[in-house]
Structure formats: structure tokens, C-alpha cells
Amino acid sequence: MDNKRLFDLYYSYNLTKIYETFNLRIANFILLVQFVLGSSIVVDFERFLPPHSRNMWQFISGLIIVILSALSFIYKYSDKAILAAQLNKRYGHVINQYQLNKNLNIDLEMLRIEPDDIKIVGAFEDIAYKRSKIQLGLKDHKILTRYQKIIAFLSGESF
């Protein structure tokens, strides 16, 4: 078996897993903030604030809700998480099949998944590369930037 193809399989698996986790956490965070801010308006949270800031509370919380709603609508974090989860399951299935049968044609299996693949770029690529190297017991010399480390943390990875 070609180690490059095996690495590509693990890389694709990790890339979709990291992307799924990141988008799911962002979507859940946005929903939580919207729920908390919306609830604070409904339960009249303003009465606990100083009189001079009461009028601003509704405006600021409403503005935050609008901004988060726009971000959620534009970037569709939950949709991206669902698509990545579906791909991740397919890549995971191929990995499981390979572990049971070392003669499995990974190229053929990857070609079957490729039409449904999604484009994932940016910080996720280096994080998935690093995770794949570690999983396969290969030497890893990749150093993540501070930004990539933050994305990795938000994606459930720690190096």
C-alpha cells in the first residue's frame, strides 16, 4: 500500500472532522448567545442595570443578535458541519475497511467519495496535516501559527 494514499485518506478524514467540529461549535455558540440575549430582553433584565444604561441594553443586545443572525445566515455554519460530518463518516468507513483488509484499493474508495467532497481551506489544512502525521506515527515538523492554534483549540485539537 502506498503510504501517500493512506496519508491522504487520514488527512481527508481529519480535515472533515476538524471542520465539522469547528463549524458545529461556532453554530452552537451563536445560538447560545442569541438565546441568552433574547431571553434577557424578554425577562426584563434591564431592571437590574443602572438607569442610564437601560435604553442601551435593548439596542446593544438587539444589534448583537442581528449581527450573529447575519453571520449564521451568510456562513451557514450548521450546514457546513452537517456536510463535513457526512463526509467524515464516509472517510472513517474507508479507514475501518482498510484496517480489516490491507489490500483495499484506497484510490478507488477515494474516487467514490470525491464527487461529494467539499473544499476546506485555510488553517484547517495544517491542523489536519499535523493530526494525520501523529495518527500514522510519522515525524511531524509542522509548526502552527498562533491563529492556527486557536482554530485547533476551537476544533477540539490540542498539540
Closest listed residue to residue 24, CA positions, set 66, 100, 75, 60: 75
pLDDT at 107: 95
Q: What is the distance between the alpha carbons of residues 86 and 46, in angstroms, rounded to a whole number?
A: 43
Q: The cell 442610564 sits on which residue?
A: 52
DSSP labels, 57-92: HHHHHHHHHHHHHHHHHHH-HHHHHHHHHHHHHHHH
Phi, psi of 76 (to 5 degrees): 50, 60
* pLDDT at site 43: 84
Q: Is the pTM of this model over 0.85?
A: yes
Q: How far apart are CA 1 and CA 137, in angstroms?
A: 16
Q: Sketch the domain layout of the chain as residue ranges.
A: 3-154
pLDDT value for 88: 98
Length of the chain: 159
pLDDT at residue 55, as a whole number: 79
Q: Which residues of the chain have pLDDT under 70?
A: 1
- Give whole-number Cα distances, 97 to 64, 81, 91, 101, 159, in Å: 47, 24, 10, 6, 28
- Give the pLDDT score at 2: 74
